[in-house]
């Protein structure tokens, strides 16, 4: 394998790694949104426990 082929192979590896990192970032963002939603629901439920159901 000559230098140009080696550089091309390494470049391809970097591109594939970048795609994986982008996919991981997307999943982490989705997970974070889900966690925030669950935390908000837990806080609302706790507030209902403390003050009752204010919507009725």
> Buried b / exposed e across 21-35, counting CB within 10 Å, b at 16+?
eeeeeeeeeeeeeee
For the entire predicted model, the pTM comes to 0.62
- Answer whether residue 55 shows pLDDT above 80: no
pLDDT-above-70 percentage for the chain: 95
Residue 52: pLDDT band (50, 70, 90) is confident
Residue 45 has pLDDT above 60, yes or no: yes
């Amino acid at each position: 394998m000559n230098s140009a082929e080696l550089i091309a192979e390494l470049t391809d590896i970097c591109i594939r790694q970048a795609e994986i990192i982008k996919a991981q970032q997307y999943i982490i963002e989705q997970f974070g949104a889900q966690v925030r939603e669950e935390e908000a629901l837990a806080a609302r439920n706790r507030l209902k426990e403390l003050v009752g159901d204010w919507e009725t």
